[in-house]
Structures are given as C-alpha cells and as structure tokens.
Amino acid sequence: MQTQNKKTGLTIIILAAGVGKRMKSSKAKVLHILGGRTLLQHVIDTSRELNPEKICVVIGHCGDQVKQEINDQSLCWVRQEKQLGTGHALMQAQHELTDDGMTLILYGDVPLIHVETLKNLLSEVRDNQCGLLTVNLNDPSGYGRIVRDTKTNEITSIVEHKDASEIQREICEVNTGIMLIPNKYLHRWLPKLTNENTQGEYYLTDVIALAVKENIQIKIVQPEYIYEVLGVNDKKQLAELERIYQRENANELMEKGVGLADPARIDIRGRLHCDQDVSIDINCIFEGVVELQNGVKIGAHCFLKNVRVASNSTIQPYSHIESAEIGHDCIIGPFARIRPGTKLMKAVHVGNFVEVKNSQIGKGSKANHLSYLGDTIVGENVNVGAGTITCNYDGANKHQTIIEDDVFIGSDTQLIAPIRISKGTTIGAGSTITRDTPENALTLSRAKQISITGWKRPKKS
C-alpha cells in the first residue's frame, strides 16, 4: 500500500478552519476530545495510515491554538484567514499541490471515518477520475444533494440544501464532503469556482459539475456505516460520537476474545492491548497505552493510565493506577492507588487504601491495608503492616526507604526516610523508626505503657 500511494503521490487536505459556534466553547471545535484524542488528531492518525506524501491542515478560526495543540512539524499548515467556503479553503492549499498525484479531502470535525472506507475510495478511483463519498440519509436536510441524470443515473452535480429546489430536496443521497480529485484537475477547476450562490461562498462541491462538463468520470463510494461521516457541531453530537467510538472499541476487544461485563460501560481514551482471557468489569477507564496480559481481571470502576499488567493479575474494584508496571499474579485493591514510577514484581499484594508512589515491591511482598509507600524499595516476602507510612518528605526533599527481604513491619509504623530496614528485621507495632535496623532483630520504639489509677475524665463545665 505504501509504495503504491507514494507512486501516485497522495496529498491529504484536512479542512479545519470553521468556527464551530454551536460548541459554545473558547476552544477550537477540532480540539475537542473524543476517546482521549482531539477530533483533528483522529483524522490525522487515520490519514497517516494511508501513507500520504503530504498532509495539509487548513486552519483559520483559532488557528494558532490548533497548530500549537497538535504540535506536529511533519504536517503542512495552511491559513484561511476568512472562511469563504470549502472551495476557498482548498484554494488556500492549492500551492501545496504538485502537478500530478491525487488529493483526498477530509474534515477535522468528522473523526470516525474508517481507514478501510478511504482505502476503498483510493482503490476505486483511477488517476483520470474523481471520487466522491456519499450516503443515503432518511433526513437529508442541510446536506448537499447528489443530483443524478434521470436517464443514465450518472451524477451531474451537487446542489447545496440552500440552493436546492423543492424536488432536489427530496433526494436522500447526500454529499459527505469527502472527495478524491486528481491534482491536475484541481489546478484547473479551483480558479473557476465562483461564489454566486445563496450563501455567497466558494463551494468545493461545484467541481463535480465541472468534471461532468469535461466528461470526467466520477466514482461514487459509500461507507459501511453512516456514523463514519457524521460531523461534530455541538456537545450533544460529540457525546453521541464518543459512545459510537467506544462501542467500536468494545466490539473490537470482544472479537479478540476479551470478556466485557457490559460493552456499553467501558471507556478507552488511548490504546488498550489485551492478550487472551482478559476480563473487564463495568465502568473502567483506560488512558494512554495500557497492556493487559493473559488472564488479567479488572474489577469494576478501575482507572488505568499507561500501565502494564502482567499475566494472571487481578485488579479489584475502584483501583487507580498510573504509569506503573504490575507483575504476574498480583492482587491489587480494592481501593488501591498506585502512582507513577511504581513497579510491582510477581505475586505482590497491594490492598485497600494503600498508596504506592515511585516504589518497587519485590516478589511475594504484601501491603494490604491503609499504607503509604513512597520512594521505597521493598525486597521479597516482606509484610508491611496496616497503617505503615514511609515518611519520605522532610518539607523540602524526598528521601528513600529501603526495606530488605523477609522484613515484617508491625502495624502503624512510621519509617523516617532516609532509612534502611535490614533483612529479617521485625518491627514492633506502633513504632517510629528513625535509624537503620540491624538484620534479623526485633526493633521497636515505644514509650513504656503506664496506667494511672483513679484518673478522672474531664467534665463539661
């Protein structure tokens, strides 16, 4: 595919200059987020899969904001200062087009177009033909209508809704806006476009009538799903496309064998890679790149961002894990919080209300209840008692705690970092440990227990 497209010299132009008033936002429309990526990024990512020679993005309204947010030097940015129509937008990019090759026109606010549909369009259309993506809608109002010759049924023009006659408005086949046109024709036709129509705009769609006039064949292709060509104009449509997108993700996962408790209740805002026999309960959110290896189980209401979970580990409900690596056979949660820079080895248990940050926990070690482990290296077979806290911060700097193999830390212990708890240490519950401990000894720091007899509780005055 790559070499084939290179040879034909495919340019993709993404129109993204429009205002997007109905979003009621200070943010450019194409920068709104769908599935963790901006609308425009979806279109750029899909475009890349076609290996084009060049991707041009036409920006206008909030152009600087768009360019900055996308932050991609490999794109060619074209300015359209005034939005005088889709044809005018293309005129601004005309100088970027070589003499031969083809140009595919996409839209920054139409995020769910399938790469297969575009590949289909590319393979259907030869260098001396034009390609057009159309759909049939029950309610075609607002769209440009595909007007066909009554005898031959060949397309003769596209008529915008506002310019259409009553009879033309009955037509249910509409223009999606997505077109594939040889550069040589664009160079010839763009200068011919006028703005003599109801909207006073330069319509790109008028090139179709010019093609017909020159007897150039127009190939019409339709997408598999109508939602592929739906645009986002307001927050309601954005939310609708979000659900469609998530449903697509869910279907793809299930086809690969992932068990989803409810495909309507999963959100993937990045990439989720799953091996075999993975199961995911309801209302989980996956951000960034998440990898779940064989047999991993994710409980309900978990949040995972940039995480790898090795085989046969279980993440119990309401756990929050970010930028971490979870080893094989671990049991995490419920209500665990694992923060960036954490690496858990095999068969580690991290239980409820335990927070782990920038720490490594060795094989078979456990911290099951109400703990904070920060900037800590924990060896193998360590038991961290309930309520144990590493005091890693002195108000200015962070310090490390090292807990060696086979340590047992009694409940409610404070470890004042920097500190080393040597191999085999036992720490008595309720201790505040300020100095390194010797190996295999019991260390504790407790005030002697005293009882005062005859003591009276204070009374309310």
What mask, x for binding ligand UD1 by CB under 6 A, covers residues 53 to 92?
-----x---------------------x--xxxx-xx---
Residue corresponding to tokens 């309720």:
430
Our finding on whether 34 is near ligand UD1 (CB under 6 A) is no
Q: What is the DSSP letter of 381?
A: S
β-strand pairing of 383-384 with 408-409: parallel
Judged by CB under 6 A, which of 50, 52, 54, 107 binds ligand UD1?
A: 107
Whether omega for the bond prior to residue 418 falls within 30 degrees of 0, making it cis, is: yes
Asked whether the beta carbons of 109 and 31 are under 8 A apart, the reply is: no
Judged by CB under 6 A, which of 35, 52, 63, 108 binds ligand UD1?
A: 108
Nearest to 12 by CA among 108, 81, 80: 108
Cα dihedral 244→248→254→260 (10° resolution):
-30
Residue (38 or 86) nearer to ligand UD1, CB: 86
Q: How far is CA 259 from CA 153, 243, 286, 318, 357, in A?
A: 47, 19, 15, 19, 30
Centroid of chain to Cα 193: 39
- The distance of closest approach from Cβ of residue 67 to ligand UD1 in the complex, given in angstroms and rounded to an integer, is 14
Our finding on whether 15 is near ligand UD1 (CB under 6 A) is yes
Our finding on whether 314 is near ligand UD1 (CB under 6 A) is no
Residue (20 or 333) nearer to ligand UD1, CB: 20
- The distance of closest approach from Cβ of residue 203 to ligand UD1 in the complex, given in angstroms and rounded to an integer, is 4
Our finding on whether 174 is near ligand UD1 (CB under 6 A) is yes
Our finding on whether 195 is near ligand UD1 (CB under 6 A) is no
Centroid of chain to Cα 416: 40
Judged by CB under 6 A, which of 12, 13, 17, 296 binds ligand UD1?
A: 17
Residue corresponding to tokens 């003769």:
156
- The distance of closest approach from Cβ of residue 82 to ligand UD1 in the complex, given in angstroms and rounded to an integer, is 8
According to CB under 6 A, which residues from 397 to 436 bind ligand UD1?
Answer: none
Using N-to-C axis directions, what is the helix angle for 39-48 and 63-70, rounded to 10°? 60
Judged by CB under 6 A, which of 9, 11, 12, 18 binds ligand UD1?
A: 18
For the beta sheet containing 279-280, the strands, ordered from the edge strand earlier in sequence to the opposite edge, are 259-260, 279-280, 297-298, 314-315, 331-332, 349-352, 366-369, 383-384, 408-409, 426-427, 442-443
What mask, x for binding ligand UD1 by CB under 6 A, covers residues 199 to 238?
----xxx-------------------------x-------
Judged by CB under 6 A, which of 56, 111, 117, 160 binds ligand UD1?
A: 160
Judged by CB under 6 A, which of 158, 193, 321, 402 binds ligand UD1?
A: 158
Our finding on whether 144 is near ligand UD1 (CB under 6 A) is yes
**Catalytic annotation present for 369:** yes
Residue (15 or 50) nearer to ligand UD1, CB: 15
Surface-to-core class of residue 291, CB atoms within 10 Å of its CB (0-12 exposed, 13-18 middle, 19+ buried): middle
- The distance of closest approach from Cβ of residue 63 to ligand UD1 in the complex, given in angstroms and rounded to an integer, is 10
- Separation between Cα atoms, residue 296 and residue 277, nearest integer Å: 7
Span near ligand UD1 by CB under 6 A; candidates 173-181, 276-284, 359-367, 380-388: 173-181
Judged by CB under 6 A, which of 177, 299, 327, 385 binds ligand UD1?
A: 177
β-strand pairing of 145-148 with 155-159: antiparallel
Q: One of 114, 187, 369, 399 is an active-site residue; which one?
A: 369
Tell me the two tokens of residue 154: 């060949």
In order, the DSSP letters of 267-314 are EEEEEEEE-TT-EE-TTEEEEEEEEE-TT-EE-TT-EEEEEEE-TT-E
Our finding on whether 42 is near ligand UD1 (CB under 6 A) is no
**Which residues contribute to the site for ligand UD1 (CB under 6 A)?**
15-18, 58, 80, 83-86, 88-89, 107-109, 143-144, 158, 160, 174-177, 203-205, 231
**Residues identified as active-site:** 369
